[in-house]
Amino acid sequence: MSERLRNKTALVTGSTSNIGQAIAEAFAAEGAHVVVSGRNRERGTRVVEGVRASGGRADFLVADLDGSPEASRDLADRAREALGGRIDILVNNAGIYPAPGTTTTDEKTFDEVYGVNVKAPFFLTAAVAPAMAESGGGVVVNLGSWIARLGVPLGALYSSTKGAMETLTRAWAAEFGPRGVRVNALSPGVILPPAPDGGEPHPGETMMKGTPAGSVGTPEAIAHAAVWLASDEASFVHGTVVDVDGGRTGVAVIAA
């Protein structure tokens, strides 16, 4: 690797598996000291052990980002301490995806999804971005989703939270950009870990038929884009949502 994030520190939420794990591993491979965070201590410990075995720097902090300001502030404080006093890069990745229909969504589920997917990153960014500005600058990378712009059945609740995160990306770029904090977002398409040889195709494969890519993406594809947004190579990029979706939202899909 080119160590594009050498001497940087990073907090990646929801990084004990899937996209978050891939981002944490990619950041560490590029020289960053990474805090891996999530609810599952066992999985988080495995991620950290893997990073360290590869020569990277990582620590795990258990965190249940339920949307309360206290939980977000607590993680920010503990991460700052673990990273030697500063957070250079924040990746708001943690999220949950229950997919009931609109008419079958109860208030408890609604509040839980908005708490984790919107309130938690809102208050975490509020706790991190000002300190970034005071220390000379930083980067915030949010996670959106392709279904924030293309409706899918049973996607109303989740997609609306991702639409909120993409809107917050632009608002935060306007609010914090002049103070040296770049804020952008990634919008993943259908992302799945590599399927075992001989395994049955995942239903997500169907959603990518007729796209330029023609198949689903991997968590590593999102991680590569996250490294770029976090690096100085993207120093002139503010308030942008980068689609990493195999062309799903930008190109007409031609059914086979």
Please give the tally of structural domains in the chain. Answer: 1
pLDDT at 198 over 60: no
102 against 253, higher pLDDT:
102
Residue 193: inside a domain, yes or no? yes
Entry pTM: 0.95
Residue 1 has a pLDDT of: 60
Q: What are the phi and psi torsion angles at 87 (to 5°)? A: -120, 115
For the chain, first and last CA: distance in Å?
A: 39
Give catalytic residues, as residue numbers.
158
Residue 194 has a pLDDT of: 63
CA–CA gap between residue 248 and residue 188 (Å, rounded): 10
Q: Which two tokens stand for residue 39?
A: 């609810």
Range of the domain at 49: 9-244
Residue 210 has a pLDDT of: 87
Residue 76's nearest CA partner among 35, 28, 117, 137 is 35
CA–CA gap between residue 240 and residue 118 (Å, rounded): 18
pLDDT tens-digit map of 45-81: 999 999 999 999 999 999 999 999 999 999 999 999 9
DSSP the chain: ---TTTT-EEEETT-SSHHHHHHHHHHHHTT-EEEEEES-HHHHHHHHHHHHHTT-EEEEEE----S-HHHHHHHHHHHHHHTTS--SEEEE---------GGG--HHHHHHHHIIIIIHHHHHHHHHHHHHHHTT-EEEEEE--GGGTS--TT-HHHHHHHHHHHHHHHHHHHHHGGGTEEEEEEEE-SB-PPPPTTPPPPTHHHHTTTSSS-S-B-HHHHHHHHHHHHSGGGTT--S-EEEESTTTTTS-----
Residue 167 has a pLDDT of: 98
Residue 45: inside a domain, yes or no? yes
Residue 249: inside a domain, yes or no? no
pLDDT tens-digit map of 235-251: 999 999 999 999 999 99
pLDDT tens-digit map of 86-118: 999 999 999 999 888 999 999 999 999 999 999
Residue 97 has a pLDDT of: 92
Residue 252 has a pLDDT of: 87
> What value does the mean pLDDT of the chain take?
94
Which CATH number is 36's domain given? 3.40.50.720
Residue 91: inside a domain, yes or no? yes
